[in-house]
Structures are given as C-alpha cells and as structure tokens.
C-alpha cells in the first residue's frame, strides 16, 4: 500500500508539473476593436492558453506554458502582425498593410458608429 501511495504521488507530481502556466502583462500599441482581434489572433500559437488585449489600457494579458513558449516569442508573434509589443517593434511591412484606423503610430482612430 505504501508503494502505491508513493507511485501515485510521483505520477500526480509529474502531471501537475507539466501543466504549469504563467500569466504576464505588457503593452501592445493599437487603436480599436479590429486591432484587438488581430492582436489576440496573432498570439494564438502553441503554448499560449489565452491572450486578451484591452483597447483602453493597451495592455495584453497572456497566459502561457513556459515549457512550450517564451514571453519573448509571444511578443515577436504579435509584432509580426504589425503591432509594437512591449520592447519589440512591430513589423513595418505588416504595419503598413493595416487599415488606416489601425495605424496607431499616426494617432487615435475614430471608430465608425454602427
């Protein structure tokens, strides 16, 4: 019985250790709901559990598995879509392809009323 308890403890410890996640926040430049969709979608990569971006605060909150991906890699993925993510500048070609409203370097967007 004692051996069974030890084995179960070891297995549970191994399983729980593999499921460690971290949650981090960082600034991502953007303007509107279209930006929100692009930013969150660009962080939809292996190892990222969830990414949310708040338009008003410009803060991205990312929950991820550090055994599978680094925070820097997540920021790079977002930057590839044209958005400045923390200390990583957005890809210029991708930025230039953004809709005018989403070009945050030019100022704040005036969203169209629906």
On whether residue 12 sits in a domain, the answer given is no
On whether residue 71 sits in a domain, the answer given is yes
Query: Total structural domains in the chain?
Result: 1
CATH number of the domain enclosing 85: 3.30.70.100
On whether residue 7 sits in a domain, the answer given is no
Q: Which residues contact 10 (CB under 8 A, 6 or more apart)?
A: none
Give the pLDDT confidence score for residue 106 in this predicted structure: 85
Domain that holds residue 76: 21-106
Give the pLDDT confidence score for residue 107 in this predicted structure: 77
On whether residue 90 sits in a domain, the answer given is yes
pTM of the model: 0.79
On whether residue 87 sits in a domain, the answer given is yes
Is residue 19 pLDDT above 90, yes or no? no
Are the C-beta atoms of 22 and 52 separated by less than 8 Å? no
How high is the mean pLDDT of the chain? 87
Percentage of the chain modeled with pLDDT above 70: 77
Alpha-carbon distance 69 to 66, whole Å?
5
Which band of pLDDT confidence, cut at 50, 70 and 90, is reported for residue 84? Answer: very high
On whether residue 111 sits in a domain, the answer given is no
Percentage of the chain modeled with pLDDT above 90: 74
Mean pLDDT over 44-67 rounds to 97
On whether residue 15 sits in a domain, the answer given is no
Which band of pLDDT confidence, cut at 50, 70 and 90, is reported for residue 15? Answer: low
On whether residue 89 sits in a domain, the answer given is yes
């Amino acid at each position: 019985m004692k051996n069974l308890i030890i084995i179960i403890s070891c297995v549970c410890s191994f399983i729980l250790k593999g499921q460690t996640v971290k949650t981090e926040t960082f600034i991502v430049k953007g303007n509107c709901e279209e930006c929100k969709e692009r930013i969150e979608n660009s962080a939809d990569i292996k190892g990222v559990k969830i990414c949310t971006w708040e338009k008003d605060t410009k803060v991205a909150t990312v929950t991820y598995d550090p055994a599978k991906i680094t925070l820097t890699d997540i920021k790079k993925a977002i930057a590839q879509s044209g958005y400045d993510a923390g200390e990583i500048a957005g890809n210029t070609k991708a930025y230039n392809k953004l809709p005018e409203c989403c070009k945050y370097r030019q100022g704040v967007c005036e969203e169209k009323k629906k």
